[in-house]
Homo-oligomer: A and B are copies of this chain.
Amino acid sequence: MSVVPVRFQARKSIEQVEEGNDLAPKFDDRGLITVVTTDATSGELLMQGYMNAEALQLTISSGEAHYYSRSRNVLWHKGATSGLVQTVRELLVDDDQDCIWLRVDVAGGASCHVGYRSCFYRKVPIGADFETQHVDGHVQLEWTDTEKVFDPKDVYGNAPNPTVL
């Protein structure tokens, strides 16, 4: 853990934000920035989450992924409960600096609270596939992963499910 506090620059111009070396992230009106997390080895999309400024600072200084949980309203050191810590191999920022890309290694090989390797375990049929698979226009999801890496009950016990209807 770095002892130097991580600081961000103020956003001054489009040129600075898009073509400069300053990290000047744009947090939205909730104080959050979108995060996309992929597996550093396979390239697979593992999850999409959010960081507040503190989570981004902690991720930069520690090299482990920290998020902000919107459902629990807390800073969230990923893996603190489940053990499934994400070690950040690369942290990138997009053109207008309102999105962070984490390329990570995951202890235990799973990132999804439902127990799958990735949160994205179902596919939507599109185009001609949609035509042949819909039921009265309703999309029918196809499963791309049916084997859970862990049983959520073992890992999270009676903690409330974060999914909000």
Chain A 58-102 per-residue mask, 1 if CB under 8 angstroms from chain B, else 0: 011111000000000000000000000000101111111001010
- Contact with A130, one of B6, B9, B124 (Cβ below 8 angstroms): B6
List A residues 1-37 near B (Cβ within 8 Å). 2, 4-9, 11-14, 17-23, 26, 34, 36
Residue of B nearest to A11 (CB): B165
Task: Return the chain B residue nearest A49 by Cβ.
Answer: B99
Of B122, B141, B161, which contacts A14 at CB under 8 A? B161
Q: A-side binding surface: helix, strand, loop or mixed? A: loop
A92 contacts which chain B residues (CB < 8 A)? 45, 120-124, 144
10 smallest CB-CB distances across A and B, nearest first, come from: A43-B43, A63-B127, A23-B139, A7-B137, A96-B163, A94-B119, A92-B120, A91-B124, A48-B99, A95-B119
